Chains A and B, each alone.
Chain A
Amino acid sequence: MKAIITVVGQDQVGIVATVANELKTLNINIVDISQTLMDHNFTMMLSGEWDDQVLSFDAAKTALEALGAQSGLTIRIQRQALFDAIQKL
């Protein structure tokens, strides 16, 4: 399973580490990563890959949303095909 994970929130120390740690725990491999500051908002995009026989999409989503709530970040996870459909001809 491949999905795009986006993290948005107030810039603070250790955001990348927090998210990356959780992904490691969930055994989600980071295929691509980029991050930037937009209007003092930290914005990070990750492309992640994992074995959906082991971890369901729902479970990954629940875990990441819980992490987001804990650390004051908005974390979204969506399957990549949607972005391709909307943005690519």
Chain B
Amino acid sequence: MESRSILETIQMVAEENLDIRTITMGISLFDCIDSDGEKARQKIYDKITTSAKDLVKVANQIQTEYGVPIINKRIAVTPIALIAAASGDQDYVAYAQTMEKAATVLGVDLIGGFSALVQKGFQSGDRKLIASIPQALAETSRVCSSVNVGSTRAGINLDAVGEMGRTIKQIAADDPVNCMSLVVFANAVDDNPFMAGAFHGVGEADRVINVGISGPGVVKRALEQVRGQSIDVVSEQIKKTAFKVTRMGQFVGSIAAQRLGVPFGIVDLSLAPTPNEGDSVAEILEEIGLESVGAPGTTAALALLNDAVKKGGVMACEHVGGLSGAFIPVSEDAEMIRAVRAGRLNIEKLEAMTAVCSVGLDMIAVPGDTTAAQISGMIADEAAIGMINNKTTAVRVIPATGKAVGDEVEFGGLFGRAPVMAVNASQPTKLIARGGHIPAPIHSFKN
């Protein structure tokens, strides 16, 4: 082995913040369904705590032996709306508490799957789950929730879009910070290891290990070496770097799966930023040649980045899945925050950016007086982008109760802080009030 390769690898981890963002174990809860809610919850607790009993231990072992930081250990379960529907329960908060208890005992950071899939319509458990979200998030700290309101195949459930706008307002009235645990999706994926949107899809195996990597710092550093050169060189450089980053994800995931005796699912090729300096997707875009993220050209630079990361990553691992694209969560990206504060990045530009990358309007604080209809309008717009472009889109906005543009919301840790951003003041009230279903687009009929 060449010394240069060893040093390069060490530098990627030690100086450029390369790490495994998460090892997420997906656990199917279908065998926990029971007509008695109490019994169902006991089965859920038992299944999660036995399936994932060694998850944290194994992740820590890998971290020690290979010197690769593994930031989060997470669990994703089958959408609870499907599991709880068979019970007579009218309120699903107790299921969230069971998830919280299991996560706490295991020492995992987050547990996702307090979810409902309503892109085509509501089954009996879906509305109950959605109604339980505000209280569930208020009473737990590790539980993450998601609702899929649209898809390319099914169109957009406008009733659900309206309901989610109201739900987000209700959560924010209690504590805006709880909003970061809820994602509203279109084209949600079954094997996403990232939170808050992870759940274990219905077509998945009983248990599976999925891995999410994070390496914006490594890409940024690699691009510093090709300043002034043609954009072709930039693309090539990103591909090479993404290959190495993804190899690490593949390696760590396969070791973890082997030691846990669970099949290895996918590596998610996303570039996930953190609020730490030098761990920013916005900085990559600026390195490509923008004075600031948000400048005209941002969408083009992001499209190139997103595509090159995938091209480099796809060859590096057996199975690619999850969201696989660059993330642009405002609060979690130090440079993105700076651009918003300086007035160089607005919600409309972010929306355009979501058309070419994963995942959507993510971790954005909006003024406290933003109405439920406006939030629903944002959800509908993102869902439409996802539906038409065959891609996952999402909305994770935080109405900052009592705050206005220029104020900030603090989330802490990996979630960072979000400057409150202006929302177009006109109202989509009548559109949202229509309810019903936006039909699936013509290009979804592929058979």
A39 close to B (CB within 8 Å)? no
Contact string, B2-18, partner A, CB cutoff 8 A, digits 1/0? 11011111100000000
B127 close to A (CB within 8 Å)? no
Docked-complex contact B3 and A82, CB < 8 angstroms: no
Docked-complex contact B67 and A78, CB < 8 angstroms: yes
In the assembled complex, the Cα of A81 lies from the Cα of B165 at a distance in Å of 48
Contacting chain A: which of B74-82, B197-205, B231-239, B246-254? B246-254
Interface-central residue, B247, B250, B255, by most chain A CB under 10 Å: B247
Docked-complex contact A85 and B247, CB < 8 angstroms: yes
Docked-complex contact A4 and B66, CB < 8 angstroms: no
Within 8 A of A (CB), among B430-444: none
By beta carbon, the residue of chain A nearest B4 is A87
Chain B contact residues (Cβ within 8 angstroms of A): what range? 20 to 34
Docked-complex contact B247 and A86, CB < 8 angstroms: yes
Chain A contact residues (Cβ within 8 angstroms of B): what range? 20 to 34
In the assembled complex, how far is the CB of residue A82 from the closest CB belonging to chain B, in whole angstroms?
Answer: 4
In the assembled complex, the Cα of A61 lies from the Cα of B66 at a distance in Å of 11
B33 close to A (CB within 8 Å)? no
Assuming the A-B contacts A57-B65, A78-B65, are A45 and B6 also in contact, with contact meaning beta carbons closer than 8 angstroms in the complex?
yes
In the assembled complex, the Cα of A74 lies from the Cα of B148 at a distance in Å of 48
Assuming the A-B contacts A45-B6, A86-B247, are A81 and B66 also in contact, with contact meaning beta carbons closer than 8 angstroms in the complex?
yes
Docked-complex contact A58 and B6, CB < 8 angstroms: no
Docked-complex contact A76 and B65, CB < 8 angstroms: no
B105 close to A (CB within 8 Å)? no
Docked-complex contact B7 and A6, CB < 8 angstroms: yes
- Partner of A4 from B1, B8, B247, B255 at Cβ < 8 Å: B1
Docked-complex contact B66 and A82, CB < 8 angstroms: yes
B363 close to A (CB within 8 Å)? no
In the assembled complex, how far is the CB of residue A51 from the closest CB belonging to chain B, in whole angstroms?
Answer: 16
Residues of A within 8 A of B255 (CB): 81
- Partner of A43 from B5, B7, B66 at Cβ < 8 Å: B7
- Partner of A82 from B7, B8, B9 at Cβ < 8 Å: B9
A21 close to B (CB within 8 Å)? no
In the assembled complex, how far is the CB of residue A8 from the closest CB belonging to chain B, in whole angstroms?
Answer: 8
In the assembled complex, how far is the CB of residue A41 from the closest CB belonging to chain B, in whole angstroms?
Answer: 11
Within 8 A of A (CB), among B364-381: none
In the assembled complex, the Cα of A72 lies from the Cα of B93 at a distance in Å of 53
In the assembled complex, how far is the CB of residue B254 from the closest CB belonging to chain A, in whole angstroms?
Answer: 9
By beta carbon, the residue of chain B nearest A62 is B64
Assuming the A-B contacts A58-B64, A87-B9, are A82 and B251 also in contact, with contact meaning beta carbons closer than 8 angstroms in the complex?
yes
In the assembled complex, the Cα of A45 lies from the Cα of B4 at a distance in Å of 10
B244 close to A (CB within 8 Å)? yes
A36 close to B (CB within 8 Å)? yes
B421 close to A (CB within 8 Å)? no
B68 close to A (CB within 8 Å)? yes
Contact string, A30-73, partner B, CB cutoff 8 A, digits 1/0? 00001010000001010100000000011001000000000000
Residues of B within 8 A of A43 (CB): 3, 7
Docked-complex contact B64 and A83, CB < 8 angstroms: no
Docked-complex contact A61 and B1, CB < 8 angstroms: no
Docked-complex contact B67 and A82, CB < 8 angstroms: yes
Assuming the A-B contacts A6-B6, A45-B6, A76-B10, are A84 and B67 also in contact, with contact meaning beta carbons closer than 8 angstroms in the complex?
no
Residues of A within 8 A of B6 (CB): 4, 6, 45, 83
By beta carbon, the residue of chain B nearest A76 is B67
Docked-complex contact A80 and B247, CB < 8 angstroms: no
In the assembled complex, the Cα of A58 lies from the Cα of B64 at a distance in Å of 7
In the assembled complex, how far is the CB of residue A62 from the closest CB belonging to chain B, in whole angstroms?
Answer: 10
Assuming the A-B contacts A85-B247, A85-B248, are A79 and B3 also in contact, with contact meaning beta carbons closer than 8 angstroms in the complex?
no
Residues of A within 8 A of B65 (CB): 57, 78-79
Residues of A within 8 A of B2 (CB): 87
Docked-complex contact B64 and A61, CB < 8 angstroms: yes
In the assembled complex, how far is the CB of residue A40 from the closest CB belonging to chain B, in whole angstroms?
Answer: 16
Assuming the A-B contacts A58-B64, A79-B66, are A86 and B3 also in contact, with contact meaning beta carbons closer than 8 angstroms in the complex?
no
Residues of A within 8 A of B1 (CB): 4, 47, 80, 83-84, 87
In the assembled complex, the Cα of A43 lies from the Cα of B9 at a distance in Å of 14
The 8 closest A-B pairs by CB, nearest first: A85-B251, A78-B67, A87-B5, A82-B66, A86-B247, A79-B65, A45-B3, A86-B244
30 pairs, CB–CB < 8 Å, chain A vs chain B? A4-B1, A34-B3, A36-B3, A43-B7, A57-B65, A76-B10, A76-B67, A78-B10, A78-B65, A78-B66, A78-B67, A79-B65, A79-B66, A80-B1, A82-B9, A82-B248, A83-B1, A83-B5, A83-B6, A83-B9, A84-B1, A85-B248, A85-B251, A86-B5, A86-B9, A86-B248, A86-B251, A87-B2, A87-B8, A87-B9
